Structure 1
Amino acid sequence: MKIEEYLSSLPSSIINGDDIELPDNTIRDMLKFAGLQEKDVFYHLGCGTGKGIAIAVQEFGVKKAIGIDSNKTKILEGQTFLKDKHITSGSLIHEDITISDMNDATVILFWFSDEKIIQTMTDRFKKLNPGCRIITIWGPLAGHMPDKVDFPFILNITPFKKAESLRQQMLAIFDTDCIDFAVAWEFADRYSKAISSRDSENDRFLTILQTLVIWINAKNLGVACGDDIPDPVKSYIGILKTFFNIEVEHLLK
């Protein structure tokens, strides 16, 4: 089956990230990356059970921390979690993030895969006060250049800088003149480690998929190193097809 068919066969909660909560250490790394300070007002969009809010308050001492999530069960669990930890400057809201008020935000953690949500929120972020930092994972906000990169963490700061092309975005993210297999694997591995628990058995499979996605996108944008398909890429394409019945060759243009 084509990789699109494989992804569509997975539970929607996995694809849209509803069942994925970032590890605590990853959240800490992201908040350090954003330079979170005591004077900041922090919003975590898609906060789950609110561990990011607890970390922002207890370890970074932010003035205020707000978590927003559409999953009522997780919000209720998170509210109990914050209460048990006696956190009063952090709160959780059960709400659709596309209509939430976040005008006082100075730092926002935003990690979603739904393109409609990303575009809607990007338009909303543009209206926030100058200097607001938006932390994302994997890629910058659609159509805009990153202000800071420590892959897989990306930072956009308002007002946003328009990207001339996806090619320009990609080269800025990977900080290189061209992308070979080694670069694609290194960055895919960073992503896998950031979003997975340390004992995850699926890390290598995810890394293979993401490596191929990175390299194929680079090839299609004309920023891959060389004209030929590297032998490791050929090998992993074959492994996916032979052992997992997943076909990705059609993505090459």
Structure 2
Amino acid sequence: MKIEEYLETLPNNLLSGEDVQLPEKSFREIFKFTELGKDDIFYHLGCGDEKGISIAINEFDVKNAIGIDNNSEKIENAKKVLEKNNSKGKLICQNIEESDISDASVILFWFTDENVINKMVEKFETLKPETKIITIWGPLPDCLPDKVDFPYIINKVPFKKAQNMQEQLLAIFGVKCVDFVTAWEFAERYTKSIGSPEIKNDRFLTIIQTLMIWINAKKLGVVCGDEIPESIKTYISIMKMHFDIDFEYLLKE
């Protein structure tokens, strides 16, 4: 089956990012990366649970931390945990497109729905200068990142616009061209940062991500050299032979 067909077999919530909760270590990495501190007002959009809010308040001593999610059950459960732990912070049940985030200085925003992303980018552009928008895996559409510790990326208001996708991709990876080693390194960073403790599963996801990074880079004309690396060929064969997942057609498009 084609890789798109394989992805369609996965649960919709996994593909959309809904119900995918970041581990606590990821929040701490993100907050250190953004230099979150006592003068910040932090928003976690699509928070799901209270973990990020609790860590921001209790460990990074922010001025305020607000989590917003449109799932009422999750928000109610998260509020109970905050109350039980006597933690400060605020949790709001609301669609993020309707939320008031005008006082934010740091925002964590991890969504895959293009409609939501485009609406929120317009909203982010009205925020005060130097407001940090943290995304995971990729920057905001058509924007150059201000700071990268892959898979974590910061875009600051006002946003720097990329001339094209090639410029954006190379800015994310910090290289002049993408080779197999770069693709593998960044894919592995992603799965280690947000992946499950299942090591075998993480390796499988790393291989898929590596192939997608390299193939997308090839389509954009920013890979190193004209030949397909032997490692890429090997993993494409493994995916086809052992998992019936086809990547070869992507090289012909």
Q: Does 1:40 align with 2:40?
A: yes
Aligned position for 2:245? 246
Residue 12 (structure 1) shift? 0.6
Q: How does 1:1-150 map to 2 (within 5 A)?
A: 1-88=1-88, 90-150=89-149
Decide which moves more: 49-58 or 16-25.
16-25
CA distance in 1, matches of 2:200, 2:109: 26
Aligned position for 2:177? 178
CA distance in 2, matches of 1:103, 1:195: 28
Residue 49 (structure 1) shift? 1.0
CA distance in 1, matches of 2:49, 2:156: 26
Gaps of 5+ in 1: none
Q: How does 1:194-233 map to 2 (within 5 A)?
A: 194-233=193-232
1:202 aligned counterpart, secondary structure: helix
CA distance in 2, matches of 1:201, 1:18: 23
2:42 aligned counterpart, secondary structure: strand
Decide which moves more: 72-81 or 182-191.
72-81
CA distance in 1, matches of 2:18, 2:215: 27
CA distance in 2, matches of 1:11, 1:193: 21
User: What amino acid does structure 2 have at the position aligned with 1:121?
Assistant: M
User: What amino acid does structure 2 have at the position aligned with 1:3?
Assistant: I
Residue 93 (structure 1) shift? 1.0
User: What amino acid does structure 2 have at the position aligned with 1:118?
Assistant: I
Aligned position for 1:187? 186
Aligned position for 1:158? 157
CA distance in 2, matches of 1:189, 1:72: 34
Residue 119 (structure 1) shift? 1.5
User: What amino acid does structure 2 have at the position aligned with 1:126?
Assistant: E
CA distance in 2, matches of 1:101, 1:7: 34
CA distance in 2, matches of 1:99, 1:205: 38
User: What amino acid does structure 1 have at the position aligned with 2:77?
Assistant: E
Gaps of 5+ in 2: none
User: What amino acid does structure 2 have at the position aligned with 1:45?
Assistant: L
User: What amino acid does structure 2 have at the position aligned with 1:72?
Assistant: S
Residue 200 (structure 1) shift? 4.7
CA distance in 2, matches of 1:190, 1:251: 24
CA distance in 2, matches of 1:177, 1:211: 18
Identity of aligned residues (%): 55
Residue 166 (structure 1) shift? 0.5
CA distance in 2, matches of 1:112, 1:11: 16
Q: Deviations over 1:21-63 (max 9, x none)?
A: 1110111110111111111110001111110000000001111
What's the C-alpha RMSD, in Å, of the aligned pairs? Answer: 1.1
CA distance in 1, matches of 2:234, 2:111: 31
1:36 aligned counterpart, secondary structure: coil
After superposing on structure 2, the runs of 4+ consecutive aligned residues of structure 1 that deviate more than 3 Å are: 197-201
TM-score w.r.t. the length of structure 1 is: 0.97
CA distance in 1, matches of 2:124, 2:192: 28
Alpha carbons of structure 1 residues 165 and 136: separation in structure 2 relative to 1, 3 Å: same
Alpha carbons of structure 1 residues 52 and 200: separation in structure 2 relative to 1, 3 Å: farther
CA distance in 2, matches of 1:112, 1:209: 20
Equivalent pairs counted in the alignment come to 252
Q: Deviations over 1:213-242 (max 9, x none)?
A: 100011111110111111111111111111
